Amino acid sequence: MFEGRYYNGRDARAQRVECVGADAVLSIRGVDFAVQFACDAIRVTPRLARTFRTLFLPDGAQVQTDDNDAVDALFPRRNRLETLVEHLERHATAVAASIVISIAALVFAFAWGVPWFAERIAQRIPSEVERKIGDQTLATLRRTVLKPSKLPQDRRDALRARFAAFTRDIPGAGDYRLDFHAASRIGPNAFALPGGTIVFTDEMVQLLDNDDEFLAIAAHEIGHEQHRHLMRNVLQDSAVILIATLISGDVSSASAVVVSLPTFLLQSHYSRAFESDADEYAFAALKAHDISPQAFAEVMQKFIRKYPGLQSRSFAYFSSHPPTAERIWRATEAANSP
């Protein structure tokens, strides 16, 4: 027997009732009425912590009760999935396991799952699509920060020739394109775009003292192209945002602040991993062409002299690039190893 609040389905008036279940029949008795229904015809809401249950009666009326055990005894094997979930919620081991699963799954997904999937998908993206995306980006940059190069034509031709000679034996590098642009707002920089376009700013070229230094930077950007870092980066960033949105969907309190910091840290982490990969690729490619990776270290040194702030390690986790000192050290190490 259990007590409940009875609603007749026509108004908001609650009546105290006593319910008795026997032989798959539920008898409900109020002060001035009594009804009976077959238990099979009654819909019951699933159990959830200590909250009340509602029994929806076939005539549109309903009974709400806090006696969860009595309801479960009378209506066994209802809502199997939610009954199972409710058991999990009640057992300390299942709760502990959920904590472990959640943390482990998130760490695994972000450390390996997302990068693995992004790499597989990036390999399947046709090169025409990739090139189109690269052209789109370049067109936007040309409208905003990139201006026509002011370097002498023969300097550009010479660098293009060195680049072509360097990439001759690199598979897939045949249609890589070297672009020069004046970019006073960016300063000395070089970057790779999806589809094989590598951009050097005039300021970057002016910073370089010899062709080995030019090839050291070019090799780093070729590494980005060879590993399809650009597409992988796009895919990984999108995946991080999607997962973060899914998980935090129900966090109403300041969710933007709470989600954006870890999202940003993750994206920077991925970016640093790509930069390190591109560095390693560059060191190997340079050595294959009998150029010492020390040339890469030289360029980095110049950066540090020009921008002393780059040395600082305090924002290492916020940065899209590994600390410059570390990159120099790795380049020197690569130069000195056989």
- Chain positions contacting other proteins, by CB under 8 A: 5, 7, 9-14, 45, 48-52, 54, 62, 64, 81-82, 85, 88-90, 94-95, 97-99, 101-102, 105-106, 129, 132-133, 136-137, 140, 234, 238, 241-242, 245-247, 249-254, 257-258, 261, 309, 312, 314-315
Calculate the dihedral angle through the C-alpha atoms of 322, 156, 306, 147, rounding to the nearest 10 degrees.
Answer: -90
Residue 280's closest CA among 236, 199, 205, 337?
A: 337
Comparison of 258 and 288: residue with beta carbon closer to other proteins: 258
Q: How far is the CB of 189 from other proteins (least distance, A)?
A: 17
Q: How far is the CB of 134 from other proteins (least distance, A)?
A: 10
Q: How far is the CB of 266 from other proteins (least distance, A)?
A: 13
Q: How far is the CB of 293 from other proteins (least distance, A)?
A: 29
Do residues 177 and 115 lie in contact, with contact meaning Cβ atoms separated by under 8 Å? no
222/172 Cα distance (integer angstroms): 10
Q: How far is the CB of 178 from other proteins (least distance, A)?
A: 23
Task: Find where tokens 């067109």 sit.
Answer: 139
Comparison of 34 and 242: residue with beta carbon closer to other proteins: 242
Contacts of 233 (CB under 8 A, 6+ apart): 270, 271, 274
Comparison of 77 and 143: residue with beta carbon closer to other proteins: 143
Q: How far is the CB of 151 from other proteins (least distance, A)?
A: 26
Comparison of 15 and 332: residue with beta carbon closer to other proteins: 15
Count Cβ atoms below 10 Å from residue 180 Cβ, excluding itself: 20
Give the H or E element holding residue 43. strand 43-44
Comparison of 14 and 165: residue with beta carbon closer to other proteins: 14
Rounded to 5°, angle at Cα 49 from 45 and 51: 60
303/187 Cα distance (integer angstroms): 11
Q: Per this entry, what is the length of the chain?
A: 338
Comparison of 11 and 290: residue with beta carbon closer to other proteins: 11
